[in-house]
């Protein structure tokens, strides 16, 4: 916890691989584009479902936000 606190304290605005949460270090900044909520901190997930019964047949966690550069 002390090392995470030090990392958060010393990081700069333009730094890559920022730490946004003490309790969940895997979260990332996701730009929402809404006026009342510009950013969220979470992990993106991609789901695949069947068209007939809406059963989820695949799931993938997407890290790195390849199309979202506003939080970096």
What are the pLDDT digits (tens) for 20-44? 778 877 777 776 666 666 666 666 7
Classify residue 17: in a domain, yes or no.
yes
Tell me the whole-structure pTM to 2 decimals: 0.46
Residue 25 lies in a domain: yes
- pLDDT tens-digit map of 43-64: 677 888 998 888 999 988 777 6
Q: Which domain holds residue 12?
A: 2-62
Whether residue 43 lies inside any domain: the answer is: yes
70 found inside a domain: no
In a domain, 72, yes or no: no
In a domain, 57, yes or no: yes
Instruction: Give the separation between CA 22 and CA 59, rounded to whole angstroms.
Output: 26
Q: How many domains are there within the chain?
A: 1
Given pLDDT bands bounded at 50, 70 and 90, which one contains residue 69? very low
Task: Decide: residue 63, CB within 10 A, 0-12 exposed, 13-18 middle, 19+ buried.
Answer: exposed
CA distance linking residue 37 with residue 31, whole number of Å: 9
């Amino acid at each position: 916890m002390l090392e995470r606190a030090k990392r958060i304290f010393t990081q700069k605005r333009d730094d890559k691989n920022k730490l946004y949460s003490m309790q969940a270090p895997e979260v990332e900044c996701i730009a929402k584009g809404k006026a009342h909520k510009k950013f969220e901190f979470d992990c993106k997930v991609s789901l695949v479902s069947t068209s007939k019964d809406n059963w989820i047949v695949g799931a993938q966690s997407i890290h790195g936000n390849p199309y979202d550069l506003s939080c970096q």
